[in-house]
Chain A
Amino acid sequence: MKKLFQIALGIIAAIGGFVDIGELVFDTQAGADFRFQLLWAVPVGVLGIVVFAEMTGRVAAVSGRPVFDVVRMRMGLNVGLITLAASLLINLITLAAEVGGAAIVLQLLFDLNVSTLILLSVVCLVLVVYFVPFGGIERIFGYLGCALLVYVAAAVHLKPNWHEVGQGFVPHLPSSALYAYFVIGVIGAALVPYEVYFYSSGAIEDRWGTADLNLNRANAALGFGLGGILSIALIVVAGEVFFDPHIQPGYLGTTALGAQQAFGEAGLVLALVGMLFAVGGAAVECAFSGAYTLAQFAGWEWGKYRRPRDASRFTMAWLIFFALAFVIVETGVDPVLLTEYAVILSVVALPLTYLPLLLIARDRTFMGDHANGILGNVLGWLYFVIILGVSLAAIPLMLITNGGSV
């Protein structure tokens, strides 16, 4: 019973932790531009991250290897270095976007100077990460991020045409470059690699073993899977509120306005609080992921379960990540724009981390009886093809559509 309760709490935290600034930006724009027509891309992205996360969790539990251990081992030094450089860059851009997002949400709540709020956000995040234990961090941000469930309530309250919503889940071929760009954006926003690096390293931090494989399956499928409901709700709300008046959302404030339209001030406040903890939690995951990535690649000691001085380079790494993100955001760059670059670039680099993980997850030398079964292999390779296609199309579509603005 206690175990079940723990699983339930973990799943609630995962739901709240699923959404980050990528979804808040891309899903809202997708709903505003195409109403419900892009809904089908959400389950495609969500199933992708479930497959990826389940494999990384299983590899971590069975072989004790986190993602970048596997990347280095399977891809060797050269491809490994390219993957490392790409991942660090993407992590940093994403972290800057999340920190900037947190500052904007705080500004919408308190109307203070944005520069001060950026500093405040970074300082608070650093203090939480430094002093709160791993499980506590997941729970604080995960539970409070659940305030975003207001979008699920709003999606129902706004009484959309459910038949049309249902039709949105039937995949159809892109009718324009802009539509194709948003398909990639919605899939990419769900399939963010830093969440997977964090998940796999977290499994090792929590000392998972083969006894935890069911927990891994439940967390990956239900946590990430149910998190997808928030994405769907964001698209439905944006489709109902912004599509008809031809509003092109370019601010986090616009996303919040959707919840306000449904429930007034209470909706607005819940949305902003949810966003604050969703992007704050994502910032923590990003900073950790950057440090995990670097430490695992180079073989340094790492982990939040170690005392900071016992994993000193890991500690320095995440502190430096926050400092760099702070500098980037203070230059005044638009976090929404950063988010778009981060999501598209992470889609481009995705095959580099996905492939080695898939190769080791199906390798009986390392995984024994826990290697991919038939379903795991079919889904694993199917998603490799999807990820490769999305990765190759991302940059050309970004250029053709001028980053979704035509």
Chain B
Amino acid sequence: MEDKQMDLVYRVLDDQLVDIEGRRCGRVDDLEFDGSLGDPPRLYAILSGSGTWHRRLPRPLRKLGERIFGTGVSGRDVIRVPWEQVEEISSVIRLKAKARDLGLGQGDERDAALVAKLPKS
């Protein structure tokens, strides 16, 4: 493989997202490309969230997948992170911004309110 080429499935898909503060904030659950027919496609965004999972399941299981993991509502169970926000690809995908600013890690924030009520939390 040449240096400038990268196997996206091998190196990016399903990998851990980490924000600028070192917080784990989701995984690369899917990738989004744009471009018209005849033009070279351009990697446009990372999709993160369980709402993408049903599309990757075997066809007969997709309906069930939608019910369990969500149908893919943008901003709720799928977060779109522009590819420009990727700082580095190492053992994790390091992002240039805070998770909160990108809309990532919402589940952790939601439960944090509950956990914060515990002593010494």
Residues of chain A within 8 A (CB-CB) of B23 are 301, 310
| Minimum CB distance partner of A315 in chain B | B115
Q: Which residues of chain A have C-beta atoms less than 8 A from B48's C-beta?
A: 299
Contact across chains for A301 and B25 when beta carbons are under 8 A apart: yes
Min Cβ gap B63→A in Å is 15
Q: Which one of A64, A72, A131, A310 lies within 8 Å of B27 (CB-CB)? A: A72
Asked, given contacts A63-B91, A300-B24, A309-B121, whether A72 binds B111 with beta carbons under 8 Å apart, the answer is no
Question: Are A298 and B50 within 8 A (Cβ)?
Answer: yes
- Docked CA distance A305–B84 (Å): 31
Verify B92–A301 contact, CB threshold 8 A.
no
- A73's nearest neighbour on chain B, judged by CB, is B14
Interface size on A, residues (CB 8 A): 30
* List of A residues within 8 angstroms of B60 by Cβ: none
If A73-B14, A77-B53, A299-B17 touch, whether A308 touches B27 (CB-CB below 8 Å) is: no
Distance between B65 CB and nearest chain A CB, rounded to angstroms: 9
Q: Evaluate whether A312 and B108 lie within 8 angstroms (CB atoms) in the complex, with A65-B91, A78-B57 already known.
A: yes
Contact B91 A64 (CB under 8 A): yes
Instruction: Please determine whether B91 and A300 come into contact, CB atoms closer than 8 angstroms.
Output: no
Query: B91–A308 contact, CB under 8 A?
Result: no
User: From residue B98, how far is it (CB to closest CB) to chain A in Å?
Assistant: 13
Complex: chain B residue closest to A131, CB-CB = B120
Contact partner of A310 (CB less than 8 A), chosen from B58, B112, B118, B120, is B112
A69 touches B16 (CB 8 A): yes
Q: Once the chains bind, are B56 and A298 in contact (CB under 8 Å)? A: no
Contact present for A366 and B91 (CB under 8 Å): yes
Contact A313 B121 (CB under 8 A): no
Q: Considering the chains assembled together, what is the distance between the CA atoms of A295 and B105 in angstroms? A: 12
Q: Is the Cβ of B14 less than 8 Å from the Cβ of A72?
A: yes
A64-B91, A315-B115 known; A77 vs B14 contact (CB < 8 Å): yes
Whether B26 sits at the interface, judged by CB under 8 Å, is yes
Nearest residue (CB) in B for A66 is: B16
Asked if B27 and A311 sit within 8 Å, CB to CB, the answer is no
Chain A residues in 8 Å Cβ range of B109: 312
Q: Which of A272-327 contact B (CB under 8 A)?
A: 295, 298-302, 307-313, 315-316
Residue of A nearest to B112 (CB): A312
Query: Which bracket fits the contact residues of B?
Result: 20 to 34
A31: interface (CB < 8 Å): no
Residue pair A299, B27 in contact (C-beta under 8 Å): yes
Q: Do B121 and A307 have beta carbons less than 8 Å apart?
A: yes
Who on chain B is nearest to A308 by CB?
B121
A80 near B: Cβ within 8 Å?
A: yes
Complex Cα distance, B43 from A389, in Å, reads 43
Set of chain A residues within 8 Å of B114, measured between Cβ atoms: 312, 316
Task: Write the nearest CB–CB distance from A321 to chain B, whole angstroms.
Answer: 15
Contact B14 A80 (CB under 8 A): yes
Task: Give Cα A299–Cα B26 distance, bound, in whole angstroms.
Answer: 4
Q: Which of B10, B24, B105, B114 has the most CB of A within 10 A?
A: B24
Residue B37 is within 8 A (CB to CB) of chain A in the complex: no
Q: Is A76 an interface residue (CB 8 A)?
A: yes
Against A, the Cβ 8 Å flags (1 = close, 0 = not) of B32-72 are 00000000000000001010010011100000000000000
- Smallest distance from the beta carbon of A371 to chain B beta carbons, Å? 14
Min CB distance A284 to B, Å, is: 18
Closest to A75 in B: B14
Question: A365 CA to B26 CA in the complex, in Å?
Answer: 23
Q: Flag B96-121 by CB within 8 Å of A: 1 or 0 each.
A: 00000000010111111011101011
Are A77's CB and B56's CB within 8 A? yes
Q: How far is the CA of A250 from the CA of B1 in the complex (A)?
A: 59
Contacts of B16 in A (CB 8 A): 69, 299
Interface residues of B in 72-97 (CB under 8 A from A): 91-92
Name the A residues within 8 Å of B111 (CB-CB): 312-313, 315-316
A309 touches B91 (CB 8 A): no
A73-B14, A76-B14, A80-B14 as given contacts; A300 in contact with B118, CB under 8 Å: no
Q: Which residues of B contact A (CB under 8 A)?
A: 10, 13-17, 23-27, 29, 48, 50, 53, 56-58, 91-92, 105, 107-112, 114-116, 118, 120-121
7 A-B pairs with C-beta separation under 8 A: A302-B24, A310-B23, A312-B110, A312-B114, A312-B115, A315-B118, A316-B114
